[in-house]
Structure 1
């Protein structure tokens, strides 16, 4: 028990130290994040995740290291949808690129809290009420089929969201952005800026995506530490991946279909677990294979230009 507590503490000390280094040193001044810089940071976070995975293998076990890697790849794949939504939100509210990193940085801190509550709560529910595993599985199958039918074409209007409507209704907000500030004092009264509203909307979308991704992660591992750390490593790298991927993500038009198939597969895996357990290595191979196939098809079969009749 003491060792497990030390792992949790050590992991959070590491994450907070990296975040402080990120914002306090490398991004102390707001600037446009270049593709080169974002690719370097993406590589750094992936490398750190793999080093951590080796530590899991060495100190915890081979099975857990496979589970971590599978859950990490799964969450990384599903987070592509987050990039679509974040691009839409930043574009809709006309957030300058040099301020987007700040929003995503503070969004990570909120995600840390939400994910640990979801994962620890989910693991506890499964341990005490095993039947809920089938509910998670059915939900993932339903979500996957819904995504597959829609083809990822569902439109999103941030102004129709609960957070936007409540923020505008109950809080004083400035008419325009105030640089990087989330709050400003005007006439002795604290006002929220549109940048903070964007942060709240980003946080709410992560909460929505967690509803899909956490059950998917728990289909791979019931170990709360492995589930949580794999999720957080994937999220930590999401910010840098966003700046590298946001401009070209629309080109991978078959990716949403692949993610749909992945969710259906994971859901079925949970539903049949009582009769047949699909090895973690097979799950990892399937997720990697279907994502790679979708990317290759997207490149090989470019979308035809739409012509008016």
Structure 2
């Protein structure tokens, strides 16, 4: 066991993860369908198990510090990715994406998210390596994001999915009124038009960009290893598509998740500012000297706070009257939407409705 990761290990890791993602993409493209609860659960379990195996390999290859940093980063990014699903649900509903093709839309979103996060990670690692004071900016940004996360009602996200920047970017695009399978282009009365799927992809891409800006500073507050940051993001996004179908209506009940995430982001923001003060080089703060008495928050403590906060937020959501009422409201809204489109309920939704 060494105190750092070898280059062959990093290369092999990226190759294997790339092959898995490619297989997942081809599976979605060649067999578009709405997965059953069993299928979605097996895939989510597979990806979570894969992440835990990878964490164990990091413990073995580079020691407990690397392993703990990966687990803390993966759980944080996974939690933020679950929050992404709320916005994806809004986008799918607003554009009335057929459930048969929602897997493909989600897979496209995941690929775009990986590309954008990869760019942000490379930029972030380069900046951190040369300017330690950037942790002040990252910390302040996370504190502001935490406050915004806790106080936003969610209506802005819903309204912004079609208006604002996306509307300005697409207002001159000739778009048809109806989908043509999963095609991006179609022919209507002899005219070549874009299908609404193009609007969905653009909206998903813009959403991913905003989430990348939020999530990358958060994980750099837990580790400064670009390899761990990137692999934690890959594992967080892998299985997100299946998690979308597995959680289903349960997501509507997680009413306190955003509050839990705001606590996590605020904690990491404070951790970053403490680290910046400990490594301080700014001349107008303590004369440019390190502030040694500022404590460094350990990765172990960070991991405990992250897991504990998520458990409390989830349990509180599931047991609270607000969570149960949110689930009922969401089910009634889905029933109304289905009645309007004459779309039959799936077996999983009928079973969930019976239990509620």
TM-score (norm 2): 0.79
Partner Cα distance (1:286, 1:11) in 2? 28
Aligned to 1:231: 233
Q: Pick which of 286-295 and 57-66 moved more.
A: 57-66
Q: Matched residues in 1 for 2:63 and 2:143: separation? A: 30
Distance of aligned partners of 1:58 and 1:186 in 2 relative to their CA distance in 1, 3 Å threshold: farther
Classify 1:104/1:278 alpha carbon distance in 2 versus 1 (closer, same or farther; 3 Å): same
When residues 176 and 264 of structure 1 are mapped into structure 2, their CA distance, relative to the original with a 3 A threshold, is: same
Residues 16/155 of structure 1: CA separation in 2 closer, same or farther (3 Å cut): closer
SS at match of 2:218: helix
Deviates further, 261-270 or 56-65? 56-65
Question: Equivalent of 1:167, from 167, 170, 180?
Answer: 170
Mean alpha-carbon deviation: is it higher for 93-102 or for 16-25?
16-25
Counterpart residue number, 1:84? 86
Where do 1:179-258 residues align within 5 Å?
A: 179-184=181-186, 191-258=193-260
Deviation, 1:188, is: 8.6
CA distance 1:280–1:151, change in 2 (3 Å):
farther
- 1:141-161 CA-to-partner distances (Å, cap 9, x unmatched) read 111112223355645222213
1:271 matched residue in structure 2 = 273
Q: 1:168 to 1:36 in 2, by over 3 A?
A: farther
Residue matched to 2:66 = 64
Q: Say whether 1:285 aligns with 2:304.
A: yes
The answer (yes or no) to whether the contact 2:112–2:208 under 8 Å persists in 1 is no
Q: 1:25 to 1:141 in 2, by over 3 A?
A: closer
Q: Quick check: which has more Rg, 1 or 2? A: 2
Equivalent position to 2:52, from 50, 53, 58 = 50
Aligned-partner Cα distance in 1 for 2:32–2:234: 24
Once the two structures are superposed, residues 165-224 of structure 1 have per-residue CA deviations (whole angstroms, 9 ceiling, x without a partner) of: 31232x333332110112346789764321122112112111101111100000000000
| Alignment of structure 1 residues 91-110 onto 2, 5 Å | 91-110=93-112
Question: Is this contact kept in 2: 1:108–1:235, CA < 8 A?
Answer: yes
- Asked if the contact 1:83/1:246 (under 8 Å) is kept, the reply is no
Q: Distance in 2 between matches of 1:262 and 1:152?
A: 19
Structure 2 gaps, min length 5: 279-293, 327-356
Q: Distance in 2 between matches of 1:153 and 1:179?
A: 30
Of structures 1 and 2, the one with the larger relative CO (CA 8 A, separation 6+) is 1
Inter-partner Cα distance in structure 2 for 1:187 and 1:152: 39
Deviations 1:97-146 (A, max 9, x none): 11010111122222222111101111111111111111010010111112
Unaligned runs of 5+ in 1: none
Picking from 303, 306, 315, the partner of 1:296 is 315
Q: Secondary structure at the match of 2:158?
A: coil
**Deviation by residue 1:234-267 (Cα, 9 ceiling, x = unmatched):** 0112111111123221212111111111111110
SS at match of 1:79: helix
Distance 2:143 2:298 in 1: 19
CA distance in 2, matches of 1:136, 1:93: 34
TM-score (norm 1): 0.91
Counterpart position of 2:22 = 20
Q: In structure 2, do the counterparts of structure 1 residues 150 and 21 end up closer, same or farther at CA, with 3 Å as the change threshold? A: closer
Q: Distance in 1 between matches of 2:319 and 2:5?
A: 53
RMSD: 2.3
Give the deviation of 1:296 after TM superposition.
Answer: 1.3
Which secondary structure state, in structure 2, belongs to the residue aligned with residue 156 of structure 1?
helix
Partner Cα separation in structure 2 for residue 2 and residue 149 of structure 1: 41
Distance 1:26 1:87, change over 3 A: closer
- In structure 2, the residue matched to 1:134 is 136
